[in-house]
């Protein structure tokens, strides 16, 4: 089975520019960036509730706790949020989620209901198709997240934990090796 395309920074910028001038821009930006900056799967994003990302005081949490029922491997895991993603989620929640109960879905479809895992995957495909990016899917953000961290010398064990993989062999299959990484590697000598 062919793996989802990892996106270069220029391609991610193209995606964000495409989203910015379309309906549901804030929601779609938050979804895309959550995928690329946290490595969450489409069905994990679809399962999120407002209370999963904001605390009782209305502040963005430092981490999201996914229950076993929300993950592919049926193991609960924590998703750590970096400062950039926290800012993006804060802006999104302030606008699109204002005055909604904490139990409400974080991301709602155009029918004003929680996304199903399938409709979340379709959203990703529609965005990438609209941008003309071939080979990208709902898993592209996750693969790009893992590949980018690997290229910054994050150990595969840490990557496996961040991805929620029980085996580092699974994580290694996510990492794309490119010429730039190879050039940087030989320059270490």
The structural domains of the chain, with segments of one domain joined by +, span 9-134, 142-186
Q: Residue 164: what pLDDT?
A: 86
Q: Residue 188: what pLDDT?
A: 85
Q: Which residues of the chain have pLDDT under 50?
A: none
Reported as half-sphere exposure (CB side, CA atoms, 13 A), residue 127 has a value of 32
Q: How far apart are CA 91 and CA 121, in angstroms?
A: 23
Map tokens 């904490």 to a residue.
Answer: 102
Q: Residue 1: what pLDDT?
A: 57
Q: Residue 34: what pLDDT?
A: 98
Q: How many CB atoms lie within 10 A of CB 44?
A: 24
Q: Residue 75: what pLDDT?
A: 86
pLDDT in tens, 57-109: 999 999 999 998 898 888 889 999 999 999 999 999 999 998 999 999 999 99
What letter would DSSP give residue 60?
A: B
Which class in CATH covers the domain with range 9-134? mainly alpha
Tokens of 82: 């970096």
Q: Residue 73: what pLDDT?
A: 81
pTM of the model: 0.92
């Amino acid at each position: 089975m062919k793996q989802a395309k990892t996106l270069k920074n220029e391609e991610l910028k193209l995606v964000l520019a495409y989203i910015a001038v379309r309906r549901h821009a804030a929601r779609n930006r938050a979804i895309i960036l959550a995928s690329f900056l946290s490595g969450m799967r489409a069905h994990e994003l679809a399962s999120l509730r407002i209370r999963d990302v904001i605390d009782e005081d209305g502040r963005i949490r430092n981490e999201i706790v996914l229950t076993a029922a929300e993950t592919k491997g049926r193991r609960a895991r924590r998703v750590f949020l970096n400062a950039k993603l926290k800012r993006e989620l804060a802006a999104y929640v302030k606008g699109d989620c204002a005055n909604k109960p904490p139990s409400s879905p974080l991301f709602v479809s155009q029918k004003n209901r929680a996304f199903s895992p399938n409709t979340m995957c379709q959203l990703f495909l529609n965005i990438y198709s609209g941008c003309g990016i071939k080979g990208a899917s709902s898993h592209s953000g996750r693969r790009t997240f893992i590949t980018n961290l690997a290229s910054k010398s994050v150990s595969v064990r840490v990557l496996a934990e961040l991805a929620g993989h029980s085996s580092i062999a699974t994580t290694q299959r996510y990492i794309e090796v490119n010429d730039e990484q190879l050039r940087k590697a030989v320059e270490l000598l």
